[in-house]
Structure 1
């Protein structure tokens, strides 16, 4: 995934980069190893507990910042390098109360020619979850096509592509992940509902290893570059 993010954003060592909603910095860490940027990667997240897991002090090349996507978009946080050349949001856009406004604000923090990548699950998924979870996911998940529209409304050139991998996970391990509510969606279900859901999953999937596609939408927005004097 880190390699896909770096490739999608066409990252170079000279880029000023931010991971918005970085969590524990997993992807920022891997991108930094691959790209070796000159400037530290800004790792922004509203959870202090998540940011602490990046390390104290943080690893070289990472700069944790306690801030939400809205804080960055609204200019509440001073960017160390002034503007950014590239930023990404991975599986966090569905948490934004007003994605159009926030994405517009984030786009405004980009330098000319800057890139903004939204990595998200598609509008429907084929995970081996119980039916109520799959239905609720479709009710809550933003449509990637709408994110394209938001970036275009922010004055960016936007495109949508998809990346798919095959996952193979031990059945009992996956059920344990569901009990631990590995997806934020699952936090909307009670313990009893989760257990009933796992009973449903057990009946539908007796096989010891679950095999299913993990598909992501990559929505890339690019800010306009300034026109040269001879154009």
Structure 2
């Protein structure tokens, strides 16, 4: 999808986005905790969540961390950011901007430098990944960290076959993303985290119909319905159980020498 299509997809999904992504009561705290641990976040850090959407994970990080500087929730979709509330929760500041805007300094920010930046499942929407990640790296303070949370090149979701095949065609390889961070001058590391998901089958089929993943917006309504029927036949069990595995690609800017 082009950038306009991606923005339109999320604008349309904004009101029900959290409902689709809160798989269970433990999921958001679990993922938010893994992000905080990987970035070694501290209350005094200046932080940005690029592609924050509704702030689903940012809110939980702020709740756990209690930051002294508001975390920047950066997203090009005003509809998604409106779901933060008016006014937004304490500890969060919405910023309407794309990752490219942020990297190219086309957006004014309250912080000149940042100590930590993360992108969760949004790097595949970035058009020029090498250039944008280099720009994000340049916004880091000495010792600053940049974390890319992304699905691996293959997934074990109970989706229909055409969706899984298209995912593999479109999803960037984490090692390529690591190479971009290294070329941007960062020390890099790749790790993986995994969480077992248990979702009522009918609820998951409804999520697919609602195109909860942007990937699913590349299929027509009839293709989605055919896919749902394929999934229904392949998974007669009432509860779907499958692993949600993520690559954590971490870059760290070196401390400046004295």
TM-score band, normalised by the shorter chain?
over 0.9
Q: TM-score, normalised by structure 2?
A: 0.87
Pick from 98, 115, 124 the counterpart of residue 94 of structure 1.
124
TM-score (norm. length: structure 1): 0.97
Structure 1 gap segments, 5+ residues each: none
2:50 matches 1:17: no
Equivalent residue of 2:250, what SS? Answer: strand
Which runs of no fewer than 5 residues in structure 2 stay unpaired? 1-30
What SS does structure 2 have at the residue aligned with 1:5?
A: helix
Displacement of 1:55 in angstroms is 1.1
Aligned with 2:149: secondary structure? strand
Pair 1:107 & 2:140 matched: no
Q: Separation in 1 of the partners of 2:47 and 2:180?
A: 21
Q: Of the candidates 207, 214, 217, which is equivalent to residue 184 of structure 1?
A: 214
Partner in structure 2 of residue 198 of structure 1:
228
- Comparing 26-35 and 148-157, the one that deviates more: 26-35
Greater C-alpha Rg: 1
What is the Cα deviation at residue 27 of structure 1? 1.0
Q: Distance in 2 between matches of 1:110 and 1:79?
A: 13
Secondary structure (helix, strand or coil) at the match of 2:169 reads: helix
Tell me the residue number matched to 1:165.
195
Provide runs of 4+ in structure 1 moved above 3 Å: none
| Cα-Cα RMSD | 0.7
Q: Secondary structure at the match of 1:217?
A: strand
Q: In the aligned structure 2, how far is the partner of 1:146 from the partner of 1:34?
A: 32
CA distance in 2, matches of 1:29, 1:202: 35
Give me the whole-angstrom Cα distance separating, in 2, the residues matched to 1:72 and 1:90: 15
Aligned partner of 1:58 in structure 2 is 88
Question: Matched residue of 1:15: which SS?
Answer: coil
Count matched residues.
228
